[in-house]
Structure 1
Amino acid sequence: MRILILDDDAARHTTFSSLYKGHEIAHVYRFKEFVSCLEHSPQWDLVHLDHDLGDSSAADTYIDGFGSPQSYNGFHAMLKLCELPIDSRPRQVIIHSVNPAGAQAMLKYSHSLGINTTWKPFSVSK
């Protein structure tokens, strides 16, 4: 199984790696890394998405319609997944964010396009 994980927290990556031993896993920490990964290898069986991607670098921001810089987040990643041709979309997406509003928005959007998506809030105690 090919698994793509987007999260800014290295501890979550470590935990997910232990859950999926023996599978091919790509770890990305920023939105633009995620997009690059999809462009180079769009076929994934499972995609894990976080919503809040922490303090993004300037390279991971965009200017909104009001001229203000905004950080990309997991919802933007979900938009990119939904742009893929239907036969290239992942079989399953798991939103593991602990941000309920962000996760619900991602879930609602993906379900409206028929993507098999579940929300499983997950945190790693430090």
Structure 2
Amino acid sequence: MSVDQSQTLSQIIEQITGDRIHEKKGGKFFFKFYLNSKMSETPIETLDLGVRAYNSLKRAGYSTIGELAEDIASGAEISKIRNCGTKSCREIMEKLFLYQYSCIPQEKRARYILEIVEMNVVKNRG
């Protein structure tokens, strides 16, 4: 796991925007996927998920980050996967985000974080 991936979502957002976010229990986390071929072929083990989240994804047939990201982007709900509760869903989404964030060129990261913050403030208000 890279240094970027070891930071939490909250730490990254605070570092770039200066704002502290308070995670709402059971709240959803939204972001856009920007996958390249390397990311698409990367095994889900790279996400360094907890045992329950990892096993849920494996049982559901996911072996690469690309497969998982494509299904989520097309509207599949990971909460429908057996043994994938609220905490596991949030963990999976955060780890996907952190992996993607670590793959984005340094000069584009701040703009990407601002886009994500705006997207989540609007979605979580309703």
Q: By percentage of residues, which structure has more strand?
A: 1
Q: TM-score scaled by structure 1? A: 0.30
Choose between structure 1 and 2 for higher RCO, CA contacts under 8 A separated by at least 6 residues.
2
Q: TM-score scaled by structure 2? A: 0.30
Q: By percentage of residues, which structure has more helix?
A: 2
